[in-house]
Structure formats: structure tokens, C-alpha cells
Amino acid sequence: MAVVITVAQQKGGAGKTTLAANLAAALAGRRRVALLDIDPQRSLARWHGLRALHKTAAPILLSDVSGWRLAAELDRLRKDHDVLIVDSPPHIDTDAKLAVRSADLVLVPLQPSPPDLWAAEGTLKLAASEKRPARLVLNRAPAAGKLRQQVEADIARRGDLMLAATLGNRAGFASAFAQGLGVTETAPKSVAAAELLALLAEIEGIVG
């Protein structure tokens, strides 16, 4: 039975799809991984199409079933894989609620800015209402700076839980995504890959 990780955020540009793709790519060599793309933009499905061009890339199954068939698809994918990563829509609708309800962990990526944090509130409330564990993921973050410090202080003050590992604003993530790969595949010895693996290790510590 798969561990289900739902990546959710109402604000566009937070890196939701890139995070889902990179986690899947990092896991694919050692787990049976499935991706479920229920974001209407279908960016993850396009990434997966590019990945199919790389004959040596570790296999990842992708589904983009949504709507009334989503519940059955979640059950099917969960039975046949070790990890299921869901890229959810950028708004709270029936599909998003079901994706969160099915999750063993909800990841909420955000850039270090107040608008991203404000946009995360709805997703965190939804996860709480569904009694699902949620973690904020600081993404495209500078190594330091007053804005980052302010956002981290706001998160701590509100009592929201954030993963200790963060992802920097590194070109390697976008470059890998454009090829249908993950940064651990295109640049395994890079700082970006090290950050992604640290994040994945922390996630695995939570969900097993």
C-alpha cells in the first residue's frame, strides 16, 4: 500500500509541480512511484512526457484522472505502488479535498514571501479539517535575508510546522524539469541535489 504525498498550494509559482517531479525522480530508482496530476494546467503530465524520451530514466507511472473517477483512481494507484505523489489544483475544490483527505502527508511549498504564506493558510486549514499532517516547504529560498527571516518568524509565531530542509533558488531545478528529469538525475553532485535529498530524508522520517 502506497504512502500518499499530496503537494498543495493555492498560490501559483510556489514550485508545487517542480517539487512533485523532483521527489518522484529521486525515489524512482528504489521505489515503485506513481504520479497523479490533477492540476488543470497538466504541467506534470507534460514533464512526464519529456521523461519518456529518456530510455534510461527510472520508470514513473503517471495518471491524470480527475473528477468523479478520482476516488477509484487513488485507490488503484495506492494498491499498486510504494509511493504516490499527487500534484493538486491551485484552488480548494472537490478534487483538492479528496487529494488532501487521502494523504499521509501534505506538503505546502512556499517562497519566502508574505503572499505565499497567506495563500498557504487555506491549504493548512483544509489539512487540519481532514486531520492530515501538513508541512510547509520553503522553496526558491535565498540563503539568508530579512524577508526570509520575517517569513520564518511568522511561521513560528503561528505555530505552523515547516520542514527544516529547504530548497534554494537554483537553476538546476528548472533545468532538470525542462528535460523531464529530476535534479538528482541531471546533477547528482550539485548543491540542488543535496538539498532535495535532505528534504526527501526528512519526509521519509515522517511517513516512513
Question: Is pLDDT above 90 for 200?
Answer: yes
83 phi, psi to nearest 5 deg: -135, 135
- What would the mean pLDDT of 67-75 be, rounded to a whole number? 96
Question: Is pLDDT above 90 for 13?
Answer: no
Q: Give the pLDDT score at 26.
A: 98
Neighbours of 91 (CB within 10 A): 11
pLDDT tens digits, 132-182 = 999 999 999 988 778 889 999 999 999 999 999 999 999 999 999 999 999
Domains of the chain (ranges; CATH) run 3-203 (3.40.50.300)
- What would the mean pLDDT of 68-74 be, rounded to a whole number? 96
β-strands 83-87, 33-37: how paired? parallel
Q: Give the pLDDT score at 90.
A: 87
Whole-angstrom CA distances from 132 to 62, 103, 126, 138, 190 are: 24, 7, 9, 19, 33
Could you tell me the pTM of the whole model? 0.96
Confidence label for 27 from pLDDT (cuts 50, 70 and 90): very high
d(CA 183, CA 195): 10
CB 72 within 8 A of CB 168: no
Q: Give the pLDDT score at 183.
A: 98
Output 1 or 161, whichever has higher pLDDT: 161
Q: Give the residues across from 85 on adjacent strands.
A: 5, 35
Confidence label for 12 from pLDDT (cuts 50, 70 and 90): confident
Q: Give the pLDDT score at 40.
A: 93
CA angle 112, 48, 191 (to 5 degrees): 40
pLDDT tens digits, 92-140 = 889 999 999 999 999 999 999 999 999 999 999 999 999 999 999 999 9
Confidence label for 193 from pLDDT (cuts 50, 70 and 90): very high
Task: Please spell the DSSP secondary structure of 48-72, one letter per residue.
Answer: HHHHTT-TTSPP-EEE---GGGHHH
3-state class of 164 per DSSP? coil
CB 164 within 8 A of CB 138: no
Confidence label for 35 from pLDDT (cuts 50, 70 and 90): very high
Average pLDDT of the chain is 95
Question: Is pLDDT above 90 for 57?
Answer: yes
